[in-house]
Chains A and B, each alone.
Chain A
Amino acid sequence: MKKLIIDNKEYKSRLILGTGKYKDFEETGKAVEASGCEMVTVAIRRLNIGQDKDSPSLLDVVSPDKFTILPNTAGCYNSEDAVRTCELASELLSGKTLVKLEVLSDSKTLYPNVVETLKASEMLVKRGFKVMVYTTDDPVVAKELEKIGCECIMPLGSAIGSGLGIINEFNIREIVENAEVPIIVDAGVGTASDACIAMELGCDGVLMNTAIACAKNPILMASAMKHAIEAGSKAYEAGRIAKTLKGVASSPKDGVITDE
């Protein structure tokens, strides 16, 4: 399998973990550990002023010294807000320029606003950001984002938090086949088989949050996802058999005792 290289760094794990929706930081830390991931996403928000000065922050639990921190632009509905958020994230993370761009259309569907996403991508690439961009599963848009210079294209499997899995495998396959940059399925994964399918389609990785954080046992699910991604990755490399409409015997036809 070809190496996963993002922003000049090679990743052994093909799982990127979101850190939202966990019960507490302890559970976040354990899930991150069980998943074996090397990159985690974070959201950029106003500081809750007045909280206990000594209470830990997320980045004390998931340290930038150990993990690649991928700040997202979740909650942004236009390119200007997204770029502003990325600039703040870069300042917060000591000048790091790797970002997850997501520009949404509305709070009901959380579907990507492709027009604003394309605009924001151009602005960010010009400013020197390395953009991992969340987008629709449209192969034409994916290619346009690649041409703009995005580091990595992240088409949705289905709507954020929906757990519907990959609803258009043909589009994901098409995006993968045409891509010169890593393709990471972002959003929609509900359980381990969804992550496995993404890898079997030839994706370079999977980004997920809700499927793990909201599972009954998040830490066990994090481990399941790790193994699903490894299994799917190996299956893709091994090369699956062709599908046929009729049965094909796996035991020899000759020498059966009922033969006359």
Chain B
Amino acid sequence: MNIILNNQSDEIHDGITIKELLDHKKIHTKYIAVEINQKIIPKSKYNQHELKEGDKIEIITAIGGG
């Protein structure tokens, strides 16, 4: 299925969870936040929350800034 991940179109397996997506993309979960369709998903829900066709996913982190 198709999702929008950090503003880029991406193909992933149907019904995978956030945890599976993060593992697939080799993303450490320590200093990130995940938002799906403008709703923040807490870290405790990464294992259960399944992604749906067309979901807009933002994975954000902290970088250098003033």
Interface residues of A (CB under 8 A from B): 18-22, 28, 41-47, 49-50, 53, 57-59, 69, 71-72, 74, 84, 87-89, 91-93, 160, 207-210
Contacts and interface: CB of A to CB of B under 8 A. Distances in A.
Contacts of B59: 46-47, 49
A57 B25 contact: no
A92 B32 CA distance: 5
Contact of B66 (A46, A57, A210): A210
A19 B64 contact: yes
B28 A160 contact: no
A88 B60 contact: yes
10 contacts: A18-B66, A19-B66, A21-B64, A43-B64, A46-B7, A53-B28, A58-B62, A72-B66, A84-B38, A91-B43
Contact of B61 (A28, A57, A207): A57
B40 interface: yes
Contact of B65 (A41, A47, A57, A84): A41
A28 B64 contact: yes
A82 B43 CA distance: 22
Nearest to B40: A91
Contacts of A46: 6-7, 58-61
Main secondary structure of the interface of A (DSSP, over half): mixed
A160 B64 CA distance: 15
Contacts of A42: 62-65
A22 B65 CA distance: 10
Interface residues of B, number: 25
Contacts of A84: 38
B5 interface: yes
A100 to B, nearest CB: 9
9 A-B pairs closest in CB distance: A43-B65, A18-B66, A209-B66, A91-B33, A42-B62, A92-B33, A19-B64, A53-B26, A20-B64
Given A88-B33, A92-B31, A44 B66 contact: no
A92 B39 CA distance: 14
B60 A19 contact: no
A49 B3 CA distance: 15
Contacts of B62: 42-45, 57-59, 69, 71, 89, 92-93
Interface in B1-44: 5-7, 25-28, 30-33, 35, 38, 40, 42-43
A77 B25 CA distance: 31
A50 B26 CA distance: 7
A58 B65 CA distance: 10
- Most chain A beta-carbon contacts within 10 A, residue among B61, B63, B66: B66
Given A72-B66, A89-B33, A210-B66, A45 B61 contact: yes
Given A45-B63, A47-B59, 17 more contacts: A22-B64, A41-B66, A43-B66, A44-B63, A45-B60, A45-B65, A46-B61, A47-B27, A47-B60, A50-B25, A53-B27, A59-B30, A72-B65, A88-B40, A93-B62, A208-B66, A209-B66
